Each structure stands twice: as structure tokens, then as C-alpha cells.
Chains A and B, each alone.
Chain A
Amino acid sequence: MIECANLGKFYNGVVALEGVNLTIGRGKIIGLLGENGSGKTTLIKLINGLLSPSTGSVAIDGKAPGVESKKIISYLPENAFLDSDMRVREAVGYYADFFADFDREKAGRVLREMEIDPKKKIKNLSKGMKEKLSLTLVISRNAGCYILDEPIAGVDPAARDRILDTILNNFNENATVLVSTHLIADIERILDEVVFIHHGKIVLHEDADALRTRRGKSIDAIFREDFR
């Protein structure tokens, strides 16, 4: 599904990402785990074609990021991407116009689950509600791959649970979910595989349960032990 080969990104000679070789298969939930500034967002932007690589390459279903890959990948950016003057309902319409794979029915259902009022203006939503709305739009596409950059950062624990439930309940079985976070304890139960990223390098990529068995600890504890 996603293949990175010797992928690297430098900004004015400063290394943000280096020598990334990563293959991500279909039908799995993969956690991209690293602290702030470790290179998670850089990697995600490279996969989404928002940055161009300094070295190496990235391919989605064999093709470089571009118009075709944007049809396949539903991407939740780290920062707010919705026009705050829009109403929730308008944002849904906008997404439906933009993406052929958008499922309005699903969006309506998830909005109800999230208890978001479609008539509200986005600027009048709380931070947690905005996050939930963004996720609703992203997850309501019937995409082959979902890339979620820090979907649970900055929201309260109840909203986190709701967001994780929504991810579990709505991604389709053949889809890949790549989710980046530094809040490992909250998310590790839903992961098939974990990728540790540290100082711009991938230092580990392993099946989550295999890693727990090997080290006898939670992913969160292993991460803390290795990097803090």
C-alpha cells in the first residue's frame, strides 16, 4: 500500500527525516509513534505529497504521491483545515463535493454519534468538537487508506475514547490506517503494528503483540524506556 525507500527530508541542511525504509500493508492499523519533533508530520506530509523528498522515494500503490494518491488516501492534518466561518453542514457538503468516495449517510451517522449540531458554525465549536468534526469528515470517505496526524492531541479523555471508537467502528476492513501520536497509552490497544520514530529515523517496526511478548511490557512503557 505505502512504500518508502531511503526517504529523507532536509530543511536548509537540517535533517528532519533520514533513510526511511518502510512498507505498510493493507488492512492494518499502524501507529506512528514518536515525540514532538521526531519527524512524524514530515513523514506524513511526504506520503501525502505535501512535501517533496530530498532523498529516496515514496509510492502509494506503486505510484508517486499526486492526484491519484489523493483519491485513495483520506488525510487528517495535524492542524485545523476547515474554514471557521462555515457551518458544520456546509463543511460536510464541501467534502462531499470534493471527494467522490465521500459517504454522506455515514457522515450524518457519525455526526450524530459525536453529538455535533450540523447547524453550528465551526468557529463556535470547542477544540474537542472541531477535532471530532475533522475526523468525521476524514473517516466518512470510503478510502483505501486513512492517515491521521495526531487525532487525539489536545482533546479530553472522553473525546479521545469517542474518537478511537469512531476509528474502530468506521474504517473498512481492507483499508489501512496510519495514525501518528505521542499519546501511546491511549491508542495502543487498537494497533496492529507500531513504528517508532526518533530524531528523524525509524528505529523499530514490529507487530504490536510480538513486541509486547518480546519485551514483556506495554508499548507505552517500552517507548518510555527506550527514548526518555
Chain B
Amino acid sequence: MKWEIDESRPIHAQLVEDMIRRIVAGEYRPGERIASVRDLAFEAKVNPNTMQKALAELESRGILITQRTSGRFVTEDHEKIVQLKQSLSQELLANFVADMRNLGYTKEAILGAVEQALKKSQI
């Protein structure tokens, strides 16, 4: 996955969001060791101090765990990951519903449109 960064928002906050998306999407598995600050910073083309700040925030939220000698790992707390996934999807849904309402869609029309879209993507 490529790191998408929008320079008009604080970069460390976007790195936090991006890491959470990666964990939720299973790109980083529970208990998996993540790359070093330096390598991640290089990958995202950001300052290592900014990446360090983002990882520290994920740590303080219990999403990443540091083991003194062996590096940083994704939490093995599945419930926590499920919660993250739920809150991400709720955010997406709330934005989607608000946007559709702004377009003038009713509840039924939104449901219909979602069903159509699901058919199209063949899920």
C-alpha cells in the first residue's frame, strides 16, 4: 500500500490513520513486527521524527506494543482491532450517508443505491 499524504493536514495524524488502516486491513497482522522508524519514514518519505511521533501515539493507544530489545509489534488484542475496524467503518458510513442525503437521497433510495452498487461489484 502506498502512503497517501495530504500536506494540508498534520502529517503525524495521517501516519497514525494510515497505520490503523493497514492493521485493520490485515496488511500488518496481530503480533507482527513492524519495520523500523527509519525504514517506515523512508517508505512514506517523511521525517523520521514525525514517524516516531506517530508510532508513539499508536503505542500510547495500545495499538502497537514495544518490546525493549526486539522492536515494535502490532497488538495481539483482537478485540481492539475489531473495535478499530468498527469505528473506521462507522466513520465511512456516516460520511457516505451525509453525502447521499446532501444529494437529496431518501433512506429507501440510499438502500437501493447501495444494493445496486454491491451487485455491480459482485460481492
A contact set with B: CB distance below 8 Å = 27-29, 164-165, 168-169, 173, 185, 188-192, 208-210, 212-213, 216-221
Question: What B residues does A217 contact at CB under 8 A?
Answer: 8
Contacting residues of chain B (1-45) with chain A, CB-CB under 8 angstroms: 5, 7-13, 38, 41-42, 45
Main secondary structure of the interface of A (DSSP, over half): helix
* B45→A188 contact, CB < 8 A: no
**Which interface residue of A173, A188, A189 has the most chain B CB atoms within 10 A?**
A189
Cα distance A177–B42 in the bound complex, in angstroms: 16
Cα distance A2–B47 in the bound complex, in angstroms: 20
Quote the shortest CB–CB distance from B113 to chain A (angstroms). 32
Question: What B residues does A165 contact at CB under 8 A?
Answer: 42, 45
Q: Verify if B84 is at the interface (C-beta below 8 Å from A).
A: no
Across the A-B interface, give the 7 residue pairs with the lowest CB-CB distance, nearest first.
Answer: A218-B7, A209-B10, A218-B8, A212-B10, A190-B47, A213-B10, A217-B8
Question: What B residues does A29 contact at CB under 8 A?
Answer: 47, 49
Quote the shortest CB–CB distance from B9 to chain A (angstroms). 6
Proximity bits, B70-81, A CB within 8 Å = 1, else 0: 000000000000
With A209-B11, A217-B8 known as contacts, the answer to whether A192 contacts B46 (CB < 8 A) is no
Q: Could you give 9 example pairs across A and B, Cβ below 8 Å?
A: A165-B42, A165-B45, A168-B41, A209-B11, A209-B12, A212-B11, A216-B8, A216-B9, A218-B8
Question: What A residues does B5 contact at CB under 8 A?
Answer: 189
Question: What B residues does A168 contact at CB under 8 A?
Answer: 41-42, 45, 47-48
* A209→B8 contact, CB < 8 A: no
* A188→B7 contact, CB < 8 A: yes
* B42→A189 contact, CB < 8 A: no
Quote the shortest CB–CB distance from A218 to chain B (angstroms). 4
Quote the shortest CB–CB distance from B104 to chain A (angstroms). 29
* B48→A173 contact, CB < 8 A: yes
* A212→B7 contact, CB < 8 A: yes
How many A-B contacts at CB < 8 Å in the complex? 51
**Which interface residue of B7, B13, B41 has the most chain A CB atoms within 10 A?**
B7
Q: Closest residue to B47 on the A side, CB-wise?
A: A190
Question: What B residues does A208 contact at CB under 8 A?
Answer: 11
Q: Closest residue to B3 on the A side, CB-wise?
A: A189
Q: Closest residue to B52 on the A side, CB-wise?
A: A173
Q: Closest residue to B39 on the A side, CB-wise?
A: A169
Q: Closest residue to A221 on the B side, CB-wise?
A: B8
Q: Closest residue to A215 on the B side, CB-wise?
A: B8
Cα distance A174–B13 in the bound complex, in angstroms: 24
Q: Closest residue to A29 on the B side, CB-wise?
A: B47
Quote the shortest CB–CB distance from A32 to chain B (angstroms). 15
* A169→B42 contact, CB < 8 A: yes
Partner of A219, one of B7, B47, B50: B7
**Which interface residue of A169, A191, A212 has the most chain B CB atoms within 10 A?**
A212
* A192→B10 contact, CB < 8 A: no
Question: What B residues does A218 contact at CB under 8 A?
Answer: 7-8
Cα distance A51–B5 in the bound complex, in angstroms: 39
Cα distance A208–B46 in the bound complex, in angstroms: 12
